[in-house]
């Protein structure tokens, strides 16, 4: 064999090896990109699930606070259904969220139920003196404010958990980092 033939054979072999290596590398990169895309999609779906459960918890807490305001005339079945929804959302958060978010959700649930219980506590006005009524009103107001504060802290933590801090919240007019930006400044809902 002549040297020209050997150069041709070696060139063909090298070309085939380069083509195979390039094809293998391209396949691995495409697989890695596909897996990364699947992970991003799964993370986005998990984030969306958490957001939906957070909203359910906050809706139930708000509706229970409204029911507490009209405690004597509240529909017992509706209040019981709202309590169940609040607890169910809390349990779901324990399963799908971080321990910190589960603790905050439990605090929202507990303080909301404390407020509802304080508002529904029976008082015998015929026997109660004015100071006892005032103390009861203050206890109800204190429980209401604690429930609202727990919700505000949960919302702030949920924003961090859902990665809304800095991007979407900061772009809202008048929004302050760490504040309840969906509401007028200095005001908590219900």
3-state secondary structure string across 20-50: HHHHHHHHHHHHHHHHHHHHHHHHHHHHHHH
Task: Give the C-alpha separation, 117 to 136, whole Å.
Answer: 12
Using DSSP's 3-state secondary structure scheme, residue 51 falls into helix
Helix, strand, coil percent values for the chain (each to nearest 5)? 75, 0, 25
Listed as ranges, residues in the chain with pLDDT below 50 are 126-127, 169-170, 172, 175-190
pLDDT on residue 166: 55
Give me the CATH code for the 50-161 domain, please: 1.20.1440
DSSP 8-class letter at 183: S
Note whether 64 and 83 are within 8 A (CB). yes
Which of 42, 60, 47, 64 lies closest to 158, judged by CA? 47
Residue holding tokens 């229970």? 64
pLDDT on residue 109: 95
Task: Give the C-alpha separation, 186 to 158, whole Å.
Answer: 19
pLDDT on residue 165: 57
Q: Is 0.85 surpassed by the pTM of this model? A: no
Question: Residue ranges per domain, the chain?
Answer: 50-161
pLDDT on residue 190: 45
Task: Give the C-alpha separation, 78 to 24, whole Å.
Answer: 62
């Amino acid at each position: 064999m002549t040297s020209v033939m050997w150069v041709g054979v070696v060139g063909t072999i090298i070309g085939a090896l380069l083509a195979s290596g390039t094809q293998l590398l391209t396949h691995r990169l495409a697989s890695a990109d596909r897996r990364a895309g699947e992970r991003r999609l799964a993370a986005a779906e998990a984030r969306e699930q958490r957001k939906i459960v957070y909203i359910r918890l906050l809706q139930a807490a708000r509706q229970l606070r409204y029911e507490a305001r009209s405690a004597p005339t509240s529909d017992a079945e509706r209040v019981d259904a709202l309590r169940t929804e609040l607890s169910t959302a809390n349990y779901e958060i324990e399963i799908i969220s971080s321990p910190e978010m589960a603790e905050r959700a439990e605090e929202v649930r507990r303080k909301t139920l404390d407020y509802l219980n304080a508002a529904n506590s029976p008082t015998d006005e015929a026997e109660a003196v004015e100071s006892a009524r005032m103390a009861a009103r203050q206890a109800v107001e204190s429980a209401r404010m604690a429930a609202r504060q727990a919700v505000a802290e949960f919302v702030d933590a949920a924003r961090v958990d859902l990665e809304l801090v800095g991007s979407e919240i900061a772009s809202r007019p008048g929004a302050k980092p760490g504040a309840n930006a969906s509401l007028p400044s200095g005001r908590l809902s219900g």
